[in-house]
Structure 1
C-alpha cells in the first residue's frame, strides 16, 4: 500500500527537491501540501509550491496556505541561500490556487481523512504544525509518523552557533511540537552529511526539461558550500526526510528534548538530554539521575549511498 504523505514546506531549493522526490516515488502518495513562511515570504513559498506542481504536471495535489509569520518574532528569510523569491530556476506560472482552508484546518482534515495511514513531513518552521496540534491535541496519536527537518541535537547550528534555521525561525512553535508531537527529528546531525555527487548534478544540467530546472535547485552559493561543508556540492537537507520515508536510510535514538525559547544567544537550540540527567519532577539536574521520558526520536546516522541512490532513482524519472 502506498504511504499517504502530507508535506509542510517553506519552498526553497531543497524543499523543491523533496517535492520532486516524493511526487516521483512509487510507494508514496502525496495527498497534500501546506506552506509556511521561512526560506521566503508565505506568498513566495506558496507560489513556488504551486509552480513546482505545475512543472511536474501534478496540479491535482491540493495546497493550503499557512502561517505568514512566526508566533513571536518577525519573519527572517533565507533568500541569500535560496535565491530571489526563495528559489532558483525557470518555473512556470501556476494555473491553480490554494484551497480555501488554512493550513491548520487542512492538516487537521488530512488527519481526519487518512488517520493512521498518514505521515506528515514538516521541513520548514513549525508554525503550521504547532497550530494543528493546538487545535487537535490528539494529532500525534492519530497519524503514523510526524517527521521534522530541523534542529541540531549533537552538532552546531547553521544560523547561530547552536540553532538550526527552521527551529530558530519559530522556536515557540518548535517547542510546542517537541513537547506534544513526539516527532522524528531529522536535524543537522545527519543532513549536513547528505551531499550529492558532482556527476549527478552534471547529469541534470545536461538533461532536457524539467531536469534542467531541477539542476538549478542544486546551485547554492560557493561561499556557503565552502563554509558549511568544505566542498562545492550542497547538502540537501529536506531530501533526507523524503529518502527516509521512501527507503529507511536513518537510524534513530529517543531522547528527552526541549527547544530554547529565551531571548539569549541559544534561542532556537535543541537541549538534548544525552546524559539522562533531567529529573522527572522538577526539571533540574538530579542526584538520582532519573530521566525525563523521551519527547522524540533523533536521527543519528545516515546511509549516504542509499540516500544518493534514492535521490537519483526518483528525480531521474522525469527524464
Structure 2
C-alpha cells in the first residue's frame, strides 16, 4: 500500500495516478475526485469501451475535466473492443437513455472545448511506466482492456506500479448477469490477465463493497448546495443513478457510485475493509462468464493475489466528496 511521503516543507507529496475509465456517471465522479483532491496527482486519463462506446467515453471524460477547470490533464483514447471477444454490446442490458440506465449517453454538462491526445492509451501506459523514475498507481474503473494490452506489450511494467486499485467483480453481489459484474464481464480475458500479472499490490473493489457506500438524495442536495462545478455535477450525476436504481434494481433514495470508492480509497485507505485472497476470473463457462471467483476458504491452497474489499464506510465517502468538491471555488 502506498504510504504518503512528505515534501521539504512538511506537506504530503501527492500520489501520482493514472485513471482508466469508461466514463458514465460514476466514472465522472471518480475523475472529479482524482483531479481535485490535493493529495492526488492525476497525470493522465485513459479511456476504454464500456458503459458507453469509446468515442462517447472519451467525449464524456473531456467534458468532465473541462467543467471543473482541469483541461490540463491529458486524455488518451484506448481500446474500442475487448482484447479477445467480438461484438461486445456497449449499451449492455438496458436501453440507452432509458429510465433504468444510470449513465445515459452524453453527460448533462457542456460539450468539451479540449481535445484528446493523438497518443493512444496503450502507448501512453507503456511509455509512461517504462520511463517513470517513481512508482505510479493504476486505477482501472472500467473494463481492463487497456491495462491488459499494455502488459501484453511489456509484462515488466508491473515493476513500475506501487498499487492497482480496480473497480470490478463481486462475491455475493452481481449485476450484468446472475454471477458477473459489468467491468469484468465486459472483458473477462483482460481482467484475468491483470489479476495474474504479478503486481506488488492489487486492491479489488467489488460490488460487495460499493453497495455498502451508498450516496443518498440528501447527500446530493448537500453536494449541490456547495455551488462548485464539481459539487453541482456530482449531484446531477448521482441523482440520475438514484432514479435508475429506484426504477430497475433496489428502490429507495440512494445508489452506489462505484468508481469514486476507488479514488477516495487512495487518500483514505480506512474507507475499505479488505481481505487478502485468491481471485480468478471465469473466461469459459457460458453461465458464469466474467464471474470473479473469490476464494474465501480459510484453508485454501491457492496463493492470494488481491486485497478484496468487502466493507465500505458510506459516511466517510460522503464526507470525502463534500470536502473535496467544496474546497474548489466555482
The within-5 A match list for 1:206-217 is 206=225, 208=227, 210=229, 211-217=231-237
Deviation string 1:100-149 (CA, Å, 9 cap, x unpaired) is: 22111111222134354311100000100100111120222221111110
C-alpha distance in 2 between matches for 1:205 and 1:304 = 18
C-alpha distance in 1 between matches for 2:54 and 2:265 = 27
Instruction: Name the CA shift for 1:223/1:34 in 2 (closer, same or farther; >3 Å).
Output: closer
Structure 2: gaps spanning 5 or more residues:
1-12
Matched, 1:145 2:145: no
Query: 2:32 pairs with 8, 16, 20, which one?
Result: 20
Partner of 1:271: 293
The total of aligned residue pairs comes to: 304
Matched, 1:238 2:256: no
Normalised by the length of structure 1, the TM-score is 0.89
Normalised by the length of structure 2, the TM-score is 0.86
Q: Is the 8 A contact 2:212 2:313 kept in 1?
A: no
Structure 1: gaps spanning 5 or more residues:
279-290
Instruction: Name the CA shift for 1:19/1:266 in 2 (closer, same or farther; >3 Å).
Output: same
Give 1:236 deviation, angstroms: 0.7
Give 1:77 deviation, angstroms: 2.6
Classify the secondary structure of the residue corresponding to 2:115. Answer: coil
Give 1:36 deviation, angstroms: 0.1
Partner of 1:281: none
C-alpha distance in 1 between matches for 2:246 and 2:128 = 37
Q: Is the 8 A contact 2:102 2:245 kept in 1?
A: no
Classify the secondary structure of the residue corresponding to 1:138. Answer: helix
C-alpha distance in 2 between matches for 1:168 and 1:67 = 16
Partner of 1:194: 213
Instruction: Name the CA shift for 1:208/1:310 in 2 (closer, same or farther; >3 Å).
Output: closer
C-alpha distance in 2 between matches for 1:227 and 1:19 = 26
C-alpha distance in 1 between matches for 2:242 and 2:73 = 31
Q: Over aligned residues, Cα RMSD in angstroms?
A: 2.0
Q: Is the 8 A contact 2:228 2:325 kept in 1?
A: no
C-alpha distance in 1 between matches for 2:277 and 2:136 = 24
Matched, 1:110 2:140: no
Partner of 2:148: 130
Classify the secondary structure of the residue corresponding to 1:134. Answer: helix
C-alpha distance in 1 between matches for 2:312 and 2:273 = 7
Q: Is the 8 A contact 2:33 2:324 kept in 1?
A: yes
